[in-house]
């Protein structure tokens, strides 16, 4: 499990929490929560990556969500890293 803390963009954290809550029918999403452990499957992961692309204009591979070591905070950090302008 990752020990990452979510990044510095509250909008990413809150929007992603809303996406996970809706798709996983979960009331509370914590930083250490894993998509699969919360009941996510490949269909939910596909829908989640589509929503991430629509909301953040960031492409995340479905396999990233289905990994054992991908928790909520790590996904937030990955989205933020891909949103950051390149030098």
pTM of the model: 0.86
Q: Is residue 4 part of a domain?
A: no
In terms of residue numbers, what domain contains 18? 10-83
Residue 67 falls inside a structural domain:
yes
Assigned domain for 5 exists: no
Return the number of other C-beta atoms located less than 10 Å from residue 79's C-beta.
22
Q: Taking the CA atoms of the chain, what radius of gyration do you get in angstroms?
A: 12
Residue-wise pLDDT for 5-58, tens only, equals 555 678 999 999 999 999 999 989 999 999 999 999 999 999 999 999 999 999
Q: How many domains does the chain have?
A: 1
Listed residue (2, 56, 11) closest to 31, CA to CA: 2
- Residue 32 is assigned to a structural domain of this protein: yes
């Amino acid at each position: 499990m990752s020990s990452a803390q979510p990044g510095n963009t509250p909008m990413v954290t809150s929007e992603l929490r809303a996406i996970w809550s809706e798709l996983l029918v979960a009331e509370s999403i914590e930083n250490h929560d894993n998509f699969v452990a919360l009941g996510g499957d490949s269909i939910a992961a596909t829908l989640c990556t589509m929503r991430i692309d629509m909301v953040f204009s960031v492409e995340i591979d479905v396999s990233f969500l289905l990994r054992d070591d991908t928790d909520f905070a790590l996904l937030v950090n990955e989205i933020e890293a891909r949103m950051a302008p390149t030098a």
